[in-house]
Structure 1
Amino acid sequence: MTVSNREEKFKTGLAEAKNALQIEADAVLKLKKELDGSFRKAMELIIDSQGRVVFSGVGKTGLVAKKLAATFSSTGTSAFFVHAGEALHGDLGMIRAGDVVIAVSNSGETEEVLSLLPSLRRIGVTLIALTGDSSSTLAEHADLVLLADVITEACPHNLAPTASTTAALALGDALAIALSSYYGFTPEDFALYHPGGSLGRKLLTKVKDVIKIREQNPVVKIETTVREALFRMTESRMGSTSIVDQDGKLRGIITDGDIRRLLEKSADFIDRPVKDYMTVDPISISPDKLAAEALQIMESKEINDLPVVEAGKPVAMLNFQDLLRAKVF
C-alpha cells in the first residue's frame, strides 16, 4: 500500500466515523420527537408494580439490557438482568409473578427471547417490549411496546447493530431518569449506592472522617508569643495554629505564611503576643459537615488549613492535603 493510498483510507474512515455519529445522533433525536403515551404507560406499569424490573435479551441487545439494568438500579429503580438464553435453562426461576420484564430485541424476532414468552405468561409478569419493530412477534405478545426504531444502522452496510443499539440504550436511559425523577432520587441516594466512587466520597465523607488522618489540633492561648505559636506549629507539623481565649473558644488563627511575611519586614515581633498578628474570627467548620464543603471553602479562600470547631472550641485542624489523601475532589 502506497502512502497516498493509506492516507486516502484514513480520510475515508474519518468520513465514515462522522457519518456514523450523525446517524446515531439522528436516531436519538427521532426518539425525542416520537416520545408518546406509551412511555408514560411504561412508567406507570413500573411504578405501580409490586415486583421487580427484569431486563432480558441476547447478543448486542443483551448487552444493552444488562447496562440498562445497572442504570435503573443505580438511579433508584431496583432491576436486574437475566440472559434470555440462560433463562431457558433454569434462570427463569429468578423471575416471579408481578415482575415487569423488559425484553430488548431490535427485530422483535430473537428466538431465545420469543421462547420465553409462554413461561413468562404462566409466571404472571407484565411484559414490555423494547424493540425496533412494532409489528414483530415480541411486540404483538407484549403488554406494552417501547418503540426504538431507526431509519438505518450506522454501519455502511446497514448490518452491524449500531444506531439500533444506541436508540434502545438511549430510550432505556430516558426511562430510568424519568423514574428517578418521579421517585425524587437525590445525589445523596446516588452516593449511598456508590460508596466507592468519587461522588460517594464527596457526599458521604465528613470532616470528622478526614481529621483522623492526621489527628492534630495545634492550639495556643491568645497571650502566647508568636515564637511559641511557631514552635506549636512545628511540633504538630501543621502550617497554622488556632488561637483561643481563656475559655478555649476560637478567637483567631496564625499561619507560617503570616510569620514569613512579617519576617520580611522585621524580626522584632517574634516575642510579642500572637493576638497582635492573628487573623481574627477565622472561618471554621464543624466536624459533622461534609468534607466536600471544607474543600470548597479552602479552594475559594485559598487556604491550606481550616480549624474544625465544636461548641466554639477548636477540636482539630483540617489540612488541604488530607482532603486530597481522602480523595475528596
Structure 2
Amino acid sequence: MKYVKSAREVIDIEINALKSLKRDIDINFQKACETILNCKGRLVITGMGKSGLVGRKMSATMASTGTPAFFVHPGEAGHGDLGMIVKGDVVLAISNSGNSDEINVLLPVIKHLNIPLISISKNGQGRLPQEADIALTLGDFEEACPLGLAPTSSTTATMVLGDALAIALLEARGFNSEDFALSHPAGSLGKKLLTHVSGLMKSGEEIPLVSGSTSILEALFEITEKRLGMTVVKDDVQGYGVLTDGDIRRLLTINQDMDQPIASVMKNTPITAYPDMMASEALDIMRQKKVNQLIVLEDDKLVGVLALRDLVQAGIN
C-alpha cells in the first residue's frame, strides 16, 4: 500500500500547487490575454527542458483553439531560429526559476525587435519576469518530488495556466465547435461537423432506380446489381417510393405474385434527406426511423441515395 500512499501524497501536493496558482491569478492574466488577442502575428512559445515540453503542449492547444501559435526551442533560437520571430508576434517564455540561460540570451533581441514578452515563472525574482512586459507567476508551493529537484508541481501548474490562457482566449474569440472542426478534419468531431450528405451519397448511375410499372422480380435484379439493399421507385402517379430487399423477402413469404408492378407494393412515403444536410443529422434520422437508407432530394428531384454503411465507413457516428 506504500505506492498508493505515495500516489495520494503526490496528488495532494499538486492540488495545493494549483490552489496556489489560482490565488496568483490577477490583472496580469487579463493583460496577457488582451496582448495575445490583439496580436497581429503568432504567439511564439519557448522554454527549456521540462518547461519546453509543457510549452509544446501549450502551443498545440492554442493553435487548435483559435490562437495561431508555435513552439521555438530557445537553444535553437540562439543559433538562427530566432529569425522565425518577427514584428507583430508575441513571445511567451516559460522558466520556472526565471533564470534560464538559453532564454536570457534571447531577451536583448526580443527587446530590440519591440516584441511583447510574457513570462511564466514561479515568482517574479528572476531576470525573465523582471524584463517581461507581463509576468505571470505560479505561486508558492513545493514540488511533489521529495528531493525537490524533478519538476512536478511546477510543470502541472504551468500546463494548467496554459490551458486557462487558451480557454480564456477561445471564449474571447467566440471560437465554437465548427471552428474547432476546421483544424481537426481527420478527427471524429471534424468528420461529424464537416461532412455533408452530398459527399457520401450515391448519385447518377449508382442510384438503384426503377419505374412504378417495373415488376417486383425485375426490381429485385436492380437491387442486386446496385448493392444498396433497396431501389428507388419513380411512379408517375405516386411520385417517389422505395422497396427494400427486406420488403421482397416478406412478399415471398406470402407467395406474392413477383410479376406484379412494384408500384402496388412499394413504400410511397420514403424517408428523405437533402444534399446540404450534415451527414451526422442524416444518421440521426436513420436511427430514429430505423432505416438503413435515405433517398436524397433537391427541389423535389432525386439526386442520390445515402446508405448507413457509407456513413459508418466514413467514421460518422
Structure 1 residues 242 and 13, CA gap change in structure 2 (3 angstroms): same
Question: Please, which runs of 5 or more residues in structure 2 have no aligned partner?
Answer: none
Partner of 2:199: 209
The answer as to 2:151 corresponding to 1:161 is yes
- Trace 1:132-211 onto structure 2 (pairs within 5 A): 132-149=122-139, 151-211=141-201
User: Does the aligned pair in 1 maintain the 2:36–2:43 contact within 8 Å?
Assistant: yes
User: Does the aligned pair in 1 maintain the 2:203–2:303 contact within 8 Å?
Assistant: no
Q: Deviation at 1:116?
A: 1.6
User: Does the aligned pair in 1 maintain the 2:123–2:139 contact within 8 Å?
Assistant: yes
Partner of 1:258: 247
Alpha-carbon distance in 2 for matches of 1:158, 1:35: 24
The answer as to 2:299 corresponding to 1:299 is no
- Secondary structure of 1:154 counterpart: coil
CA deviations 1:5-26 (Å, max 9, x no partner) are xxxxxx3223323333343344
CA deviations 1:250-309 (Å, max 9, x no partner) are 3x2222222323444x11253444344333322211222222222222233332112122
Q: Deviation at 1:62?
A: 0.6
Q: Deviation at 1:172?
A: 0.8
- Trace 1:120-139 onto structure 2 (pairs within 5 A): 120-139=110-129
Alpha-carbon distance in 1 for matches of 2:257, 2:9: 71
- Secondary structure of 1:289 counterpart: coil
Q: Deviation at 1:33?
A: 5.0
The answer as to 2:49 corresponding to 1:59 is yes
From 84, 103, 124, give the equivalent of 1:94.
84
CA deviations 1:9-48 (Å, max 9, x no partner) are xx32233233333433443354345433222111111122
Partner of 1:312: 300
The answer as to 2:272 corresponding to 1:289 is no
- Secondary structure of 2:274 counterpart: coil
The number of equivalent residue pairs is: 317
- Secondary structure of 1:279 counterpart: coil
The two structures, once aligned, show a CA RMSD in angstroms of 2.4
From 264, 288, 310, give the equivalent of 1:322.
310
CA deviations 1:155-182 (Å, max 9, x no partner) are 2333211221111111111211211221
From 211, 214, 227, give the equivalent of 1:221.
211
User: Does the aligned pair in 2 maintain the 1:253–1:278 contact within 8 Å?
Assistant: yes
Alpha-carbon distance in 2 for matches of 1:228, 1:213: 21
Alpha-carbon distance in 2 for matches of 1:129, 1:212: 55
Question: Please, which runs of 5 or more residues in structure 1 have no aligned partner?
Answer: 1-10
Q: Deviation at 1:83?
A: 0.9
User: Does the aligned pair in 2 maintain the 1:217–1:314 contact within 8 Å?
Assistant: no
- Secondary structure of 2:5 counterpart: helix
Q: Deviation at 1:55?
A: 0.5
Alpha-carbon distance in 1 for matches of 2:145, 2:239: 70
Alpha-carbon distance in 2 for matches of 1:105, 1:303: 58
User: Does the aligned pair in 2 maintain the 1:249–1:313 contact within 8 Å?
Assistant: no
Alpha-carbon distance in 2 for matches of 1:155, 1:55: 26
- Trace 1:34-73 onto structure 2 (pairs within 5 A): 34-73=24-63
Q: Deviation at 1:210?
A: 1.6
Alpha-carbon distance in 2 for matches of 1:132, 1:236: 66
Alpha-carbon distance in 1 for matches of 2:305, 2:268: 16
Structure 1 residues 274 and 247, CA gap change in structure 2 (3 angstroms): closer
Select between 224-233 and 25-34 the one with higher mean Cα deviation.
Answer: 25-34
Structure 1 residues 293 and 58, CA gap change in structure 2 (3 angstroms): same
Q: Deviation at 1:121?
A: 0.9
- Secondary structure of 2:294 counterpart: strand
Q: State percent identity of aligned pairs.
A: 47
- Secondary structure of 1:280 counterpart: coil
Alpha-carbon distance in 2 for matches of 1:185, 1:246: 49
Structure 1 residues 46 and 256, CA gap change in structure 2 (3 angstroms): same
Structure 1 residues 133 and 33, CA gap change in structure 2 (3 angstroms): closer
